[in-house]
Chain A
């Protein structure tokens, strides 16, 4: 069965940017977890997650974001999340996670 999630990565000067394309759910979440955690472990810098092409996410994906945040904070860095679709942004508000992450337009 084909994967429904893809990533594009950009190494910036003082941060690392990852674009998440597709859907993060119980089926694809392990791919996101492996990707995010390896980026955090290999690049101890701020992480930018661009969600412009993220079509869907639920608690499985949100939990992975939180896990990545914990790892990043161990290195004194932060995660910025940008370009959230309105309904996904609302999910961050409902769960209180918008207080944990830096959310950018």
Chain B
């Protein structure tokens, strides 16, 4: 275990009514990590955009997807994953241009489907906030 990384993890059913809870959790984590209100609002939208895509796609085999908030020394990673491997390519076609442009503009780094089980990994740098 990397002692420099704190991880908060939630499992979310594929239901629209729970996206607000992911947003609320995300805002709490980003606030605790020391981000300002503008960064927190950006993260909330980016997090919701990913959740929207995952929920709209759904899964025949998995009952939920996972959102992990990884607080590193100089950045905060938000990792979306699911046991259903079909979802790892949910952003492959990049046909949701509005959602894509929003996520890319609001987060410092976005990585689609490259890690094990990860659908999206997005990050915001802390820039001396810690």
Contacts and interface: CB of A to CB of B under 8 A. Distances in A.
A1 B23 CA distance: 17
Contact count band on B: 20 to 34
A87 B55 CA distance: 25
Contacts of B48: 25-26, 58
B99 A59 contact: yes
A59 B55 contact: no
B101 A27 contact: no
Given A1-B17, A56-B23, A58-B45, A26 B102 contact: no
Contacts of B51: 26
A60 B105 contact: no
B20 A27 contact: yes
Contacts, number: 50
B16 interface: yes
A87 B49 contact: no
Interface of B: 16-17, 19-20, 23, 38, 41-42, 44-45, 48-49, 51-52, 55-56, 96, 98-99, 101-102, 105-106
Interface of A: 1, 4, 23, 25-27, 56, 58-60, 62-63, 87, 91, 94-95
20 contacts: A4-B20, A25-B16, A25-B19, A25-B23, A25-B48, A26-B48, A27-B19, A27-B20, A56-B44, A58-B45, A58-B49, A59-B52, A59-B99, A59-B102, A87-B42, A91-B102, A94-B101, A94-B106, A95-B98, A95-B102
